[in-house]
Amino acid sequence: MALGTNTVATNTMTPNTMTGDPILKVEHLSMRFGGLMAINDLSFEAYRGEITALIGPNGAGKTTVFNCVTGFYKPTMGMITMRQKAGKEFLLERMTDFEVNRDAKVARTFQNIRLFSGLTVLENLLVAQHNMLMKASGYTILGLIGMPAYKKAAAESIDIAKYWLEKANLVERADDPAGDLPYGAQRRLEIARAMCTGPEFLCLDEPAAGLNPRESAALNDLLRSIRNDSNTSILLIEHDMSVVMEISDHVVVLEYGQKISDGTPDHVKNDPKVIAAYLGVEDDEVEEVIEEIEVIAENDGTQGGSQE
Ligand SMILES: Nc1ncnc2c1ncn2[C@@H]1O[C@H](COP(=O)(O)OP(=O)(O)OP(=O)(O)O)[C@@H](O)[C@H]1O
C-alpha cells in the first residue's frame, strides 16, 4: 500500500472519482439511542449502477444507517432521499419498512439469514412475489381463479424465479428445502429472493459473513451480475475487505457514527484516517502510526518479500 502519500481527509468529501447520478442521498442523518449518538450528522451518496460499501469498525453505526435507510428505524434527524430511474423521489425517513420496499423499491437482507427454511428454494423465490401476484388478482377470489391478468402475472413470476435461480447458480437445488442448502448457497438464495421483488436499490448486511473463499467468489459474481445486468444499485455493509476491495465502486467509511473517508476503494485503503480507525488509535497518533507502518513496509520490501 502507498502509505503516507495522501493527506488526511479533513473535509471527508468524496474525491472526484464518482461522477454518477445519485440514487440515494443521506443528509445530516443522526440517530440517538438514549444517551448514545449512534449516528452523528452523517451525509453521503450512493450512485446509480454502482456497488457502494459501508465499512467501519464494530459499533461504528453501519447497521443503524441500514435500518434508517430501509425504514426499520425513524432517524432522530436528517433526510434520506431515494430517486428512482424514472425520476420519482421518496423521502425514506418518512416511510415504513413495508412502504420503503413496495413503493421506493428498496430491498434488503439481514446479518442473519431469514429464509423460509421449510419451503423449497423455488418456493422462497415465488413467495417473494406475493405482493405483485395479489395486486394482479385484484385482491379477489374471482381474480385468482379467472382473471387473465393474474394468470399472466403468475407465469411471469415463474419466469422471474427461474431467472434468479440461474443467476444464483441454484437451478439444481430448486426443489430442495432452503434449510438444507450450504451456507453460501443460502446467502445467494436470500439475495435472489430480494431481487425477485424487482428492487432498484438493494441493501445487503454482511453478505460475505461466514463464507469460505469459494462461496465468497460465487457471491462476488452474483453481485457483479446484479450491478451489470439488472440495473440495480447496491449498498452493502461488509467486514471482509477482500470482498469490499474487489467488487465495490465506492466505499464510505464510518467511525463512531461519523464519516471519516469516502471515495474509491484505492482512495480509502490508503487514507491514514481509515488505517488508524482499523488499528484503533486516536487521531493525534495517526501520523506516528503511519510512520511505523511505513518502516515495517520498507523492511518487508528489503527482506525480499513478495510485496506489491
Ligand atoms: N436498538 C438499539 N438500541 C440501543 N443501542 C443501539 C441499538 N442499535 C445499535 N445500538 C448501538 O449503536 C452503536 C452502533 O451500532 P451498529 O450496530 O449500528 O454498529 P455496526 O457498525 O453495524 O457494528 P457491527 O459491525 O458490530 O455490526 C453501537 O454502540 C450499538 O450498541
Domain with residue 32: its CATH number is 3.40.50.300
Residue 264 within any structural domain of the chain:
no
C-alpha 281 – ligand 1 centre gap (Å) = 20
Q: CB burial class (10 A; 0-12, 13-18, 19+) of residue 294?
A: middle
C-alpha 86 – ligand 1 centre gap (Å) = 34
The pLDDT-based confidence of 2 (bands split at 50, 70, 90) is very low
CA atoms of 97 and 295, how far apart (whole Å): 49
Does ligand 1 lie within 6 Å of residue 33's CB atom?
A: yes
Closest atom of ligand 1 to CA, residue 65: 18
Q: Ligand 1 atom 8: the closest Cα is on which residue?
A: 64
What percent of the chain shows pLDDT beyond 90? Answer: 46
Q: Which residue has the higher pLDDT, 71 or 156?
A: 71
Residue 303 has pLDDT above 90, yes or no: no
CB 215 within 8 A of CB 17: no
Instruction: State the residue range of the domain holding 178.
Output: 22-248
* 157-187 burial code (b ≥16 CB/10 A, e <16): beebbebbbebbebeebeeebbeebeebbbb
Residue 5 within any structural domain of the chain:
no
Of 92, 107, 117, nearest to 204 by C-alpha is 107
ipTM above 0.95, yes or no: yes
Q: Cell numbers of 170, please?
A: 441454484
CA atoms of 247 and 266, how far apart (whole Å): 12
Closest atom of ligand 1 to CA, residue 237: 22
Closest atom of ligand 1 to CA, residue 56: 21
Residue 262 within any structural domain of the chain:
no
CB 169 within 8 A of CB 188: yes
pLDDT of the residue at 290: 66
Weakest mean pLDDT among 174-188, 249-263, 282-296: 282-296
C-alpha 257 – ligand 1 centre gap (Å) = 9
**Per-state percent for the chain, helix, strand, coil, to nearest 5:** 45, 20, 35
Closest atom of ligand 1 to CA, residue 239: 25
Closest atom of ligand 1 to CA, residue 73: 1
User: 270: phi > 0 → left, psi -120 to 50 → alpha, else beta; which?
Assistant: alpha
Q: Which residue has the higher pLDDT, 80 or 147?
A: 80
Q: Ligand 1 atom 26: the closest Cα is on which residue?
A: 58
CA atoms of 66 and 235, how far apart (whole Å): 9
Does ligand 1 lie within 6 Å of residue 74's CB atom?
A: no
Mutate to test the pocket of ligand 1, among 54, 62, 72, 252 (most ligand atoms within 8 A of CB): 62
Residue 7 within any structural domain of the chain:
no
> 88: number of CA atoms within 13 Å, CB side?
7
Helix, strand, or coil (residue 128): coil
pLDDT of the residue at 302: 62
CA atoms of 298 and 153, how far apart (whole Å): 62
CA atoms of 263 and 269, how far apart (whole Å): 10
C-alpha 56 – ligand 1 centre gap (Å) = 12
Residue 285 within any structural domain of the chain:
no
Q: What is the pTM of this model?
A: 0.81
Domains: count for the chain: 1
**Alpha-carbon distance values, 75 to 53, 81, 91, 152, 161 (Å):** 21, 13, 12, 40, 35
Closest atom of ligand 1 to CA, residue 60: 21
Residue 237 within any structural domain of the chain:
yes
Residue 29 within any structural domain of the chain:
yes
Residue 295 within any structural domain of the chain:
no
C-alpha 30 – ligand 1 centre gap (Å) = 13
Residue 134 has pLDDT above 80, yes or no: no
